[in-house]
Structure formats: C-alpha cells, structure tokens
Chains A and B, each alone.
Chain A
C-alpha cells in the first residue's frame, strides 16, 4: 500500500477520533469485513449502515485479503413501523436476498441499538433461515452501540496492569474482550467452528490483528511465523482473521491456539474442542528478539519440540545478527534521543535500540495520550516511574517527562544527538517534521513500517535499516508552512483553535462515558 494512502487514511481517522469514538456495531462490521467473502448485514436503520463504508477499510482487509475498498453494508432499513411491530420477517427476507445477491461464504448479522431494544429474536431467525441459504451465517448478540464495552473501563486499572506486565511478566487482567471486534470474534468462533473429523498433528492457529495499522507488516509477520514453525516441524492451520470461512470452520483441527486478543475465544475452543492455548496480549512476553525466541520455544514445548525450536531460532537469530553486522557497525555509538509514550513503547524495545549499538542520550517520555484517554495524573506518574525502573539500559540517558514542545526541542538541541526517534502514537509525523524543520534528523519507525508488537526477527532488521537510512539521509533546509500556526505547547500537534473541542470531548469521555461521578 502506498505511503501517502495509509497516511491519509490514518490522518482522517485520527482527526475524527479526537472528538468522538466509535461503537461496538462498527467494530462488528470491521471484524466481519476481515473474513474473506463475508458480508456484514445490519439489522438496523440506514444511518448506522451508511457511515462505516466511508471509513477506510482496516489493515487485515487491505493487507491480507488485498481488498482496498470497504465492505458493502446491507441493512434491513428499520423504520418506525418496524420499531413498533418488530422486524424479524424483514430480517429473514434480507438474509435470503443477501445470500442470493452477494453469494457470500458468510453472512454476519449485526444487531443495532434499535433492534436490540425492540427485542427481535435474531437467534431464531438465523436458525430458521440457515437451511435456506448457501452461505454460512452467524449473528452478534451484543453488538448494539450501547452494549457493555470494556473501553469504558478505568484506564488507571489498565496502567496498573501494564506495570505488572513489565515487572512481573504476568498476564494482564485487563483486556478489551467486549469491544465490538472481539465480541464478534467470539460470535464467529462460537457459532462457526466445527468439530473436526481429524486433528492435524503438531498444528497451531495464529490469531492476528490489524485494526487501522496499515503501516505494519502483517503479511511479513505471518510469512515468517509459518516458515520458522515449519522448520521446527509445526504447521499453521489458520492465521485468522484475514482468512477464508472454511479456514475458520476448520480451526478446531489444530492442536494449539495462539491467541493475542480474545482469551474468551481461546477458552471456548479449549472447552468445546479440547484445544490448548497460549494467550498473550501485545506488549508482553513476545516482543523483541528474545520475545520472538520465546514465542517459538513456547509453542514448540507444547509439542515436545522445545530443543528443536531452540536450535532453529538460535540459527535464525545468528543469521539476523550476521545480516546486521555491517548495519550495526554503522549504527555503533550514534547518539539518539528517543521520544516515546509508555505502552506503545516497552522497556524491551528500548533495550533493543541499545542492542543495535545506539547510545540513548536523551529519553523524553510523553503521557499525553494516556491522560487524554482518562488516566489520572497520579497514575501517569506511576507508569513513568515504573517504566524507567524497568528500563535496565546502559546508556544512562537524561530523562524528562511531559515537556512542553519548545522545551522538548531545547533538550534535544542541547544533547546534540545524531537522530531523534519518535514513538509518541498520534503525533509521530508532526514531531518528526518539527525536529527536521529545526535541522535535527528524525524518524518515526512505525510510520516507516516497523512495529514493535509484531512477533518477528525480520522486523528488527527492518528497524535497523530504517534508522540507518534516516541517519544517512540527506538533510535539506526547511521552513514548513505546517508550523506557521499556533500550536498548544503541551498538546502538540493540537492547534490552539482546536483546544476547546478537544477538552470538551475529554470531559465527556471521562465524566459521562466512563461515568466518573464528579464534574470537572
């Protein structure tokens, strides 16, 4: 996918999401769209089905299914009469026609708010129509926009969890199981996966994820996992979603599930089909080079292939460092400033930068993203403290937290670094532009196609190459129009003129959506 396309798509989404947030129904639409030749069908009014098609299709659809257009979103067009008398027959007929017209492999019936309130018995409609259509069919019982959604939970709890992960390497308690996507994943798995005629020995299912991360190398990760597992003697039964309906139906042929998002789905498959699972949310055990090694060894151990796995991944790692020999030589001793948000950045990632030979002279930690999402200042401070304590690096950088943007620039200037690496979620490109506008070389690895959450050795190579290329790139004098506007110094890159909108939205999220009692 072209860089400009993913940048524009990303810009549109982040611009819209600064003042509003999507609902479970939209997440359900996204998840169904991530399955090959599946059609989401909304039991709801036209308005709910209109806007999702105007949102860029998500990363799994574009990168794994190679479909660059949003999925159609047929709906039952509920009207006032339907709200009074119910619309089960309307839904029945719509399913028949969707099957006839689109000839899909799967119809995912998504329940909207009005349909949930009037209490149409969607389950019975689905059961009744099942034999009348060629496609498989599932429905999402709790995809109404108002339904329980863990995103409304306290972000302070999430922070506590994250600290536990860094310190104790334990599984987080907090998750987003009930967000629209994962809720739908559970519906798909619990309603579609079939009892297998026979198991595939030494096989594993890999849960992948994409959301709107078009900049990440989803295909590369799966390709690498399949190749290394094959060498160990393990086959990938399915990497899902981003696969066919038949592959999902056949998930139970595998002997092991590797789940990254929905433990509920993993537990379901364990209880129903006896498939053991490994569950790991991002930012945990499988990040970085050691993380990738852990991944293969952990899976292989379940099949009694631990030693073989160690040998294989040892060889992969040796090859990686061998491939990186020349790059590392060039990177060695280069002074960098690293600007980051804990979460997206893990201590493991920072250690990886040192492993590549870089000297971290300055570490600038920014918690704005967290605080915008409702984390208390006190908790943000604790996250930063624990993050710093978990770093375990030798560069001994100067560390500052939540500097104003001009102070940040001054700190970077003083350290005379060779490169600034930006990893601050939404503001990466703006920050890169700001530094370069001030004559300081800068790069945002995530925007260049690197993802610290992917389980991958080759990603490390890519990271090193991205950094080297940034260090060697020709620098041109800039006087960017972008910076001729007034930015809020603590909320860069928000324009001062947009601050009232941003603050209003944050207050509503914190005090109304998340339901804090006190008014700000």
Chain B
C-alpha cells in the first residue's frame, strides 16, 4: 500500500522533552507548574497526563502573538502573581519553557524577581520541543529536582532507600511502586522517597536515605546525591519484570546492605515458590507462548525489562523492539527501531502476533488485528484501580494472566 525506504518525515511515536519534564513534575501536589508557552503546548501534555489518570498541578502562561514580538514576560509575570496571590508560605514554582520562550530567550529569573511574589522557591526547565525527546526531558527533570533536596539526618536505624526512575504514570504505576516497596520490606528495607515524587517533602528528605536505587532514569540525580550527600547508588537499566530480574534486583540490594546470602536465599526461595504456585493454573497454556512472535514498544528501561522476561522466562520470540534511545538491544530482539516513525513500525510488524505497547500502537493493533497489551506510556484505554502490578514477583502472575487472556480473547 505504501512506498518503501527511509523517509524524511517522522510520524512520531513518542513525544518531546516538554512532556518528559511535565511527567516528572506535574504530579507534585504542593508545587505549581507553569508551562510557559502558548495554550496548545499545555493542552497537549495536560490531555495526555490527565487521561493517564494523573492529576496535574499545572497551568499555562498562555503566550500570544504579541509575546513573540515583545517577549513573554508580561504573561508569565501575571500568571505567577495570580497563582500565588493568596499564598503566604510554602511557595514552590516550577516553570517549563516550551519552544516559544526557548527561542525568543525570555529571562525567567528576571521575570520572577520582577514579580510581586516573594520567597518563592523555583525551578526552571528549558524544554523546547526541538531540544530533545521525551525521556531526555524525564532524565533532566529528575536531576533538576536535586536543588530542592535538603541536608537532613537519618532519624532511625532501619535501612532506608530512595527509589528513582520508576514511572508513576505507567499502567499499574502505583501498584508497581507498592510491590517494589513490599519486596524491599522482605529484607527490612524501607523506602524514604520516590522520584518522581508526589510531595515536596519527599524531595527535601531524600538525603536521609542510605542508598539510591535507580531504575533506568535518574542516574544524574543519583550521581549528584552521591557527590553532595555521599549516598551510594545502584543502577538497573531495566525495570524488574519477571522472576529473574526481581531476583537480581533483590540480590544486589541485599548485598549492598550486607544481608547474608543465606537469608537472601531463603527470602527469594519463598517468594519464587509463591509466584510459581500462583502461576500453576496457567501451566496448560505456558508452552503455547513458546516462540510466540512479539513486538515491544516503550522506553528503554521498560523495553529491556519486559523483553528479558518474555524471552528468558516465557520463551517468546521478540521480533521487533521499538524504543527511544540508542543502545544495544541485539541480545533481545531480531529487529530494533530507534525513535521510529509510525509508518516504519507498521511496516515491521506483519509477522508479529502480540504487541506490547501503549496508546500509540492502538490504531495499528486494530488495523492489523494483533492483540495489544498496553504496558508503556501513555495509556488511556485502560483504568487501574486495583493493586495488581506488572513489576515485581506479584507482577509476574499479572503479566502472564494478561498475556494469556489477551490471546484467548482473540481466538
């Protein structure tokens, strides 16, 4: 139907830097986020985030034609003054400069100091759409939160960690976090703060942790915390989907805290027994998943994690990985697309029988009649009310249930 070869247009499957930053900061309940842009930039990202079931604490400086000519300072100044008019204390402001102010070069700090609002703590992100892709913005925003971390002393003797980089706005996002917390608690480890955070307090108190656990994103933040507060970190390039990655995750954390191998082994064996028991009713179908041709779309940490689980533990064949950053995926998939256009993705999934993706892949999934499991950002077509994670030991059963049900429904 369509022509062949590399094309010089992109029908994008991922957003730009602005959405990446917005995803990290817009859920902060006690800060106000102002997208410094014309109305549409805010409309697009707010639409996506709100339909991903995240309440956003954001608004827009609503730039107009006159702002391009005379600068956007009047609009931004007025917005800030309105937003903080009756607020006497705890004033936190995050400004996201979209393409227009980024090009015309508005002096944000000057605007804030010129406004009638005093004693406001603020962060400014230069995230014009042309400056990078979504996960670059995500990474930059996590690192940017560093300047709000305060030097604080630990209050008790328990093992305390920060979790960095687990995306709350993914399907089962909160359930994933809960499961990771549960897994850590098996070794008496408590979670101090999570990044992206929901409260300013989580940011301020982050320096109390003994260890930062970084999943995919936020390495820059962890580095800076190591440098400033001496907090070590461990980095996982993939999210913990499936038994094998969970086991690896817990072993590394336990080792870091000097927990004995015997104790670690005991905990892991118990968890594995539980999950294998839970999976047993699916045994009659597990072999049918062997060699199942699958494509996986998402950001690198998700793609690597889920592909590892699908290949190693279920025996699926990953025919295509579609992701956003250059890296080595050859050990996981036959074909890899990086920052692909929708038309390239469509051309490459003909022999696939199951897609792991997001709302973006829905149209193609419908068109090609290939079942879609929505696991990556963004997703509007499902709602998540229960504690059924995709990550962690518990998540293994949820994923297997999801895969088999999707396939059975299509028969």
Does B103 contact A83, Cβ atoms closer than 8 Å? yes
State A504–B60 Cα separation when bound (angstroms).
10
Given A47-B18, A73-B11, A508-B79, A20-B64 contact (CB < 8 Å): no
- Of A30-38, A112-120, A212-220, A465-473, the one touching chain B: A112-120
Which residues 41-56 in B have Cβ within 8 Å of A in the complex?
41-48, 50-51, 55-56
Shortest distance from the beta carbon of B210 to any chain A beta carbon, whole Å: 36
Shortest Cβ distance from A147 into B: residue: B65
Shortest Cβ distance from B19 into A: residue: A47
State A501–B68 Cα separation when bound (angstroms).
27
Taking CB atoms, residues of chain B closer than 8 Å to A504 are 59, 83
Taking CB atoms, residues of chain A closer than 8 Å to B99 are 45, 112-114, 117
Most chain A CB within 10 A, of B14, B18, B57, B64, is at: B64
State A26–B37 Cα separation when bound (angstroms).
15
Does B46 contact A146, Cβ atoms closer than 8 Å? no
Does B82 contact A100, Cβ atoms closer than 8 Å? no
Does A114 contact B9, Cβ atoms closer than 8 Å? no
Is the C-beta of B128 less than 8 angstroms from some C-beta in chain A?
yes
State A50–B16 Cα separation when bound (angstroms).
8
Is the C-beta of A25 less than 8 angstroms from some C-beta in chain B?
yes
Most chain B CB within 10 A, of A21, A44, A50, is at: A50
Taking CB atoms, residues of chain B closer than 8 Å to A93 are 8
Does A46 contact B10, Cβ atoms closer than 8 Å? yes
State A50–B131 Cα separation when bound (angstroms).
15
Taking CB atoms, residues of chain A closer than 8 Å to B3 are 100-101, 103
CB-CB contacts of A101-131 with B at 8 A, as 1s and 0s? 1110000000011101110000000000000
Taking CB atoms, residues of chain A closer than 8 Å to B188 are none
CB-CB contacts of B68-94 with A at 8 A, as 1s and 0s? 100000010011011101000000000
Is the C-beta of B363 less than 8 angstroms from some C-beta in chain A?
yes
Shortest Cβ distance from A97 into B: residue: B7
Does B100 contact A70, Cβ atoms closer than 8 Å? no
Does B39 contact A50, Cβ atoms closer than 8 Å? no
Shortest distance from the beta carbon of B326 to any chain A beta carbon, whole Å: 15
Most chain B CB within 10 A, of A17, A51, A80, is at: A51
Taking CB atoms, residues of chain B closer than 8 Å to A98 are 7, 9
Given A74-B10, A77-B12, A83-B103, A47-B129 contact (CB < 8 Å): yes
State A501–B83 Cα separation when bound (angstroms).
11
Q: Which of B8, B12, B65, B380 contacts A46 (CB 8 A)?
A: B12
Is the C-beta of B104 less than 8 angstroms from some C-beta in chain A?
yes
Is the C-beta of B403 less than 8 angstroms from some C-beta in chain A?
no
Is the C-beta of A442 less than 8 angstroms from some C-beta in chain B?
no
Interface size class of B (residues with CB under 8 A): 35 or more
Is the C-beta of A152 less than 8 angstroms from some C-beta in chain B?
yes
Does A512 contact B40, Cβ atoms closer than 8 Å? no
Does A146 contact B100, Cβ atoms closer than 8 Å? yes
Does B133 contact A46, Cβ atoms closer than 8 Å? yes
Does B38 contact A23, Cβ atoms closer than 8 Å? yes
Shortest Cβ distance from B49 into A: residue: A16
Does B380 contact A12, Cβ atoms closer than 8 Å? yes
Does B363 contact A70, Cβ atoms closer than 8 Å? yes
State A80–B16 Cα separation when bound (angstroms).
12
State A41–B128 Cα separation when bound (angstroms).
20
CB-CB contacts of B369-388 with A at 8 A, as 1s and 0s? 00000000010100000000
Does A76 contact B131, Cβ atoms closer than 8 Å? no
Does A146 contact B64, Cβ atoms closer than 8 Å? yes
State A515–B9 Cα separation when bound (angstroms).
37
Q: Which of B42, B68, B378 contacts A146 (CB 8 A)?
A: B68
Does B79 contact A512, Cβ atoms closer than 8 Å? yes
CB-CB contacts of B7-29 with A at 8 A, as 1s and 0s? 11111111111110000000000
Is the C-beta of B343 less than 8 angstroms from some C-beta in chain A?
yes
Does A505 contact B9, Cβ atoms closer than 8 Å? no
Shortest Cβ distance from B131 into A: residue: A80
State A23–B38 Cα separation when bound (angstroms).
8
Given A114-B103, A152-B64, A74-B11 contact (CB < 8 Å): yes
State A21–B366 Cα separation when bound (angstroms).
29
CB-CB contacts of A330-374 with B at 8 A, as 1s and 0s? 000000000000000000000000000000000000000000000
State A164–B18 Cα separation when bound (angstroms).
44
State A46–B18 Cα separation when bound (angstroms).
11
Q: Which of B38, B45, B103, B342 contacts A51 (CB 8 A)?
A: B45
Is the C-beta of B62 less than 8 angstroms from some C-beta in chain A?
yes
Does B8 contact A75, Cβ atoms closer than 8 Å? no
Does B47 contact A51, Cβ atoms closer than 8 Å? yes
Shortest distance from the beta carbon of B385 to any chain A beta carbon, whole Å: 13
State A147–B63 Cα separation when bound (angstroms).
9
Taking CB atoms, residues of chain B closer than 8 Å to A94 are 7-9
Taking CB atoms, residues of chain A closer than 8 Å to B65 are 146-148
Is the C-beta of A24 less than 8 angstroms from some C-beta in chain B?
yes
Is the C-beta of B257 less than 8 angstroms from some C-beta in chain A?
no
Given A15-B50, A20-B60, A45-B130, A508-B43 contact (CB < 8 Å): no
Which residues 481-500 in A have Cβ within 8 Å of B in the complex?
none
Q: Which of B17, B40, B342, B343 contacts A23 (CB 8 A)?
A: B40
Does B11 contact A512, Cβ atoms closer than 8 Å? no
Does B50 contact A47, Cβ atoms closer than 8 Å? no
Is the C-beta of B202 less than 8 angstroms from some C-beta in chain A?
no
Shortest distance from the beta carbon of B1 to any chain A beta carbon, whole Å: 8
Is the C-beta of A231 less than 8 angstroms from some C-beta in chain B?
no
Does B343 contact A46, Cβ atoms closer than 8 Å? no
Does B12 contact A75, Cβ atoms closer than 8 Å? yes
Given A45-B99, A47-B129, A16-B342 contact (CB < 8 Å): no
Is the C-beta of B331 less than 8 angstroms from some C-beta in chain A?
no
Shortest distance from the beta carbon of B370 to any chain A beta carbon, whole Å: 15
Does A74 contact B39, Cβ atoms closer than 8 Å? no
State A54–B104 Cα separation when bound (angstroms).
29
State A82–B103 Cα separation when bound (angstroms).
12
Is the C-beta of A55 less than 8 angstroms from some C-beta in chain B?
yes
Does A50 contact B82, Cβ atoms closer than 8 Å? no
State A441–B406 Cα separation when bound (angstroms).
40
Given A114-B103, A114-B130, A146-B68, A16-B11 contact (CB < 8 Å): no
State A41–B343 Cα separation when bound (angstroms).
14
Q: Which of B12, B45, B48, B58 contacts A49 (CB 8 A)?
A: B12
Shortest Cβ distance from A148 into B: residue: B65
Taking CB atoms, residues of chain A closer than 8 Å to B162 are none
Shortest distance from the beta carbon of B197 to any chain A beta carbon, whole Å: 19
Q: Which of B17, B47, B57, B85 contacts A16 (CB 8 A)?
A: B47
Given A100-B3, A118-B103, A513-B14 contact (CB < 8 Å): no
Does A80 contact B63, Cβ atoms closer than 8 Å? no
Taking CB atoms, residues of chain A closer than 8 Å to B45 are 47, 51
Does B62 contact A513, Cβ atoms closer than 8 Å? yes
Is the C-beta of A78 less than 8 angstroms from some C-beta in chain B?
yes
Does A72 contact B342, Cβ atoms closer than 8 Å? yes
Shortest distance from the beta carbon of A355 to any chain B beta carbon, whole Å: 41
Shortest Cβ distance from B68 into A: residue: A146
CB-CB contacts of A377-411 with B at 8 A, as 1s and 0s? 00000000000000000000000000000000000
Taking CB atoms, residues of chain A closer than 8 Å to B333 are none
Is the C-beta of A511 less than 8 angstroms from some C-beta in chain B?
yes
Does B128 contact A114, Cβ atoms closer than 8 Å? yes
Does A90 contact B8, Cβ atoms closer than 8 Å? yes
Taking CB atoms, residues of chain B closer than 8 Å to A23 are 38-41, 43
Does B8 contact A24, Cβ atoms closer than 8 Å? no
State A96–B207 Cα separation when bound (angstroms).
54
Which 9 pairs between the two chains have the least Cβ-Cβ distance? A23-B40, A47-B16, A45-B129, A51-B44, A513-B62, A145-B38, A47-B129, A46-B12, A145-B40
Instruction: Report which B residues bind A (CB closer than 8 A).
Output: 2-3, 7-19, 37-48, 50-51, 55-65, 67-68, 75, 78-79, 81-83, 85, 99-100, 103-104, 128-131, 133-134, 341-343, 359-360, 363, 366-367, 378, 380
24 A–B contacts from the bound complex (CB under 8 Å): A16-B46, A22-B39, A41-B9, A47-B41, A49-B10, A49-B11, A51-B15, A70-B363, A76-B10, A79-B130, A83-B130, A90-B8, A97-B9, A103-B2, A112-B99, A113-B100, A146-B65, A501-B57, A507-B82, A508-B82, A512-B79, A513-B39, A519-B81, A519-B85
